[in-house]
Amino acid sequence: MLQPFVQKKVFLVTLVVCFLVVTGLMFYSSQDREEELGLEKVFKIILYPFQKGVYYITTFVTDSWETVNTLGTLYRENNEMRKQISEMVTELSQLEQLKAENERLRELLRFKLTSPLELVPVEVIARNPSNTGATLTIDKGSNAGLTRNMPVITTEGLAGRLLNVEPFSAEVILLTDPRPGNSISGVIERTRELVYIYGGGKKGTCLVKPSDLSVRLQTGDRILTSASSLYFPKNLLIGAIVEVEESADGFEQQAYLKPAVDFSRIEYLYVVREK
């Protein structure tokens, strides 16, 4: 007679214990962690091949659809590009001569190369399932020599940095991700003054705060990575300021920055690795 009552009690006690464990987990995982939990790592490693398989099917379907739709345009573009290639071959041979000359001069002056950086091309295979976090999964990991906090860029500018690295994949935290700790320092291109950029604020933007009250921000200002940045090479384009807010007395400012990279359309990225 007591069995249903006891069963109900056991069920409720289990629920309460689970709730307490989960709450503890929330506090633990909210801190900036150098390493993921083992369970997170294992889950991502298991999920990756399936994500990659579905990614290839999706890409094949969307690419085929686009190719069929743009066949006529592609034919015209192809002819145009053939012409451009023949012109560029001539330019390239001239450039190679200049390069060789440049190297000879560098050797004569014993000038050290200024950019000892290597770009690792990667492909985006999956995105964060939640709409609040802004992270991407890429198709290369520690096996390709990638490590945590390496900068990630596109041809348009800075995209973010590596957050978690698995053997065959890695997770990129984008500039717009609103979690605490996702911030970088930058400089205003116009004045070279220091500002701090934080992910979050309005969706798809970053929050910009001046380093001190004398720094004035303007709409349209381009922000570049600064030399004092921990992870990023200097002078990479971060984005442009689209909105400036001032306090009632006009002293304090904060602004919203639209990143140079369009994160909604991103497919290919480069991870910057030191040579």
Residues 6+ apart with CB under 8 A from 43: none
Q: In whole angstroms, how large is the CA radius of gyration of the chain?
A: 25
Q: How far is CA 109 from CA 50, 101, 114, in A?
A: 54, 12, 14
Closer residue to another protein in complex, CB, 131/155: 131
Closer residue to another protein in complex, CB, 41/189: 41
Closer residue to another protein in complex, CB, 183/233: 183
Long-range pairs, 210-215, Cβ under 8 A, ≥24: 210/253, 211/185, 213/251, 213/252, 215/188, 215/191, 215/253
In the block, tokens 């994500």 appear at 51
- Nearest partner of 51 among 120, 166, 137, judged by Cα: 137
CB of residue 191 vs another protein: minimum separation in angstroms? Answer: 25
Q: How far is CA 224 from CA 96, 151, 219, in A?
A: 31, 14, 15
CB of residue 240 vs another protein: minimum separation in angstroms? Answer: 19
CB of residue 180 vs another protein: minimum separation in angstroms? Answer: 4
CB of residue 126 vs another protein: minimum separation in angstroms? Answer: 4
Closer residue to another protein in complex, CB, 55/231: 55
Closer residue to another protein in complex, CB, 75/268: 268
Residue type, 268: Y
Closer residue to another protein in complex, CB, 37/100: 37
CB of residue 130 vs another protein: minimum separation in angstroms? Answer: 5
Strand partners for 107: none
d(CA 219, CA 128): 31
Tokens at residue 38, please? 């083992």
CB of residue 178 vs another protein: minimum separation in angstroms? Answer: 5
Residues forming the site for another protein (CB under 8 A): 18-19, 22-23, 25-26, 28-30, 36-37, 39-40, 43-44, 47, 50-51, 54-55, 58, 62, 125-133, 135, 137, 163-164, 171, 178-180, 198-204, 207, 264
